């Protein structure tokens, strides 16, 4: 499912196994439990989190087959991912996603919920697949996109054109911070970046609160039970 290692001041959270790492309730609980352990570690305010995965996928999104078989699980997955992203936003340490495989839909949102996105450029893409499968994107997903992708054209390319974003395009769009020649090099890059951040000396508590302020709109969207339409009506925020 997922493992948590400590390497010096770095926490390495890995989605294990060769599958699609679909964000089903079990995996989401597992990740949240790991985040909880990180949070309660006394060294956490001087640490950095790196999230990565094994195999061809970072995460291919929600388990839609499961949702189809039991609609209550669809609600559970949405609820658990909201909590996880809120956890990541309030986490008292910098976070790095080492994207070593495809990240689609909810999986893309998970990657974007990190402060830094490092990605391999030899394969894999970031993909908001909903348009292609005929699903409306949850309003809170769009809030993440709007918070993390600055250019209106890039947002449109991601969400409306459903572009399969390679690392190179991700760099152009400002979604990806840096790219690497292979999965191993991406993780290595994340470790180097993590160590650099640790060396700089960050007060994790202050960092976490600043991130919450920066991503206030996302937390608001996560916390609301609004559907897309309510979100539009109640939005008093600047676009």
Residue 126's nearest CA partner among 173, 93, 163, 96 is 163
The reply on whether position 69 binds another protein by CB under 8 A is no
- Residue 214 interacts with another protein (CB under 8 A): yes or no: no
* 171 scored as a contact of another protein (CB under 8 A): no
- Which structure tokens are listed for 101? 């495989």
Cα separation, 63 vs 74, whole angstroms: 8
Q: How far is the CB of 35 from another protein (least distance, A)?
A: 20
Q: Is 134 in the site for another protein (CB under 8 A)?
A: yes
- Our finding on whether 150 is near another protein (CB under 8 A) is yes
Q: Give the nearest distance from C-beta 210 to another protein in angstroms.
A: 22
65 binds another protein (CB under 8 A): no
Residue 44 DSSP code: G
Nearer to another protein, 17 or 174 (CB): 174
For residue 228, how many other CB atoms are within 10 A of its CB? 13
Size of the site for another protein (CB under 8 A): 41
What is the nearest approach in angstroms of another protein to the Cβ of residue 228? Answer: 4
Give every CB contact of residue 142 below 8 A, 6+ residues apart in sequence: 159, 221, 228
For another protein, the closer CB: 17 or 228: 228
Name residue 51's beta-bridge partners.
13, 97
Q: Where are the alpha helices (DSSP H) in the chain?
A: 25-40, 64-69, 71-90, 106-112, 130-133, 139-148, 152-159, 167-173, 183-200, 204-214, 216-223, 228-234
Residue among 58, 33, 198, 52 at smallest CA distance from 125: 58
Q: How far is the CB of 90 from another protein (least distance, A)?
A: 22
Nearer to another protein, 118 or 165 (CB): 165
Regarding 130 and contact with another protein (CB under 8 A), the answer is: yes
CB atoms within 10 A of CB 148: 20
Shortest Å distance, C-beta 23 to another protein: 9
Binding positions for another protein, rule: CB under 8 A? 62, 64, 67, 74, 77-78, 81, 106, 130-132, 134-140, 142, 145-146, 150-153, 155-156, 159-162, 227-229, 231-233, 235, 237-239
């Amino acid at each position: 499912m997922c493992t948590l290692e400590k390497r010096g001041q770095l926490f390495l959270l890995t989605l294990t196994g060769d599958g699609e790492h679909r964000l089903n309730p079990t995996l989401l609980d597992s990740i949240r439990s790991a985040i909880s352990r990180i949070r309660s570690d006394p060294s956490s305010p001087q640490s950095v989190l790196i999230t990565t995965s094994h195999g061809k996928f970072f995460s291919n999104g929600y388990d839609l087959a499961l949702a189809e078989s039991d609609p209550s699980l669809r609600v559970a997955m949405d609820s658990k991912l909201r909590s996880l992203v809120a956890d990541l936003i309030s986490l008292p340490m910098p976070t790095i996603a080492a994207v070593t495989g495809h990240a689609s839909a909810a999986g893309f949102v998970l990657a974007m919920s990190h402060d830094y996105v490092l990605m391999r450029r030899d394969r894999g893409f970031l993909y908001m697949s909903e348009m292609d499968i005929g699903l409306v994107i949850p309003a809170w997903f769009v809030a993440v996109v709007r918070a993390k992708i600055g250019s209106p054209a890039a947002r449109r390319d991601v969400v409306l054109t459903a572009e399969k974003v390679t690392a190179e395009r991700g760099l152009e769009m400002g979604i990806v911070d840096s790219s690497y020649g292979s999965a191993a090099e991406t993780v290595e890059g994340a470790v180097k970046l993590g160590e650099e951040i640790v060396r700089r000396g960050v007060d994790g508590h202050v960092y976490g609160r600043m991130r919450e302020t920066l991503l206030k709109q996302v937390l608001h969207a996560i916390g609301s039970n609004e559907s897309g339409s309510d979100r539009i009506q109640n939005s008093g925020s600047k676009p």
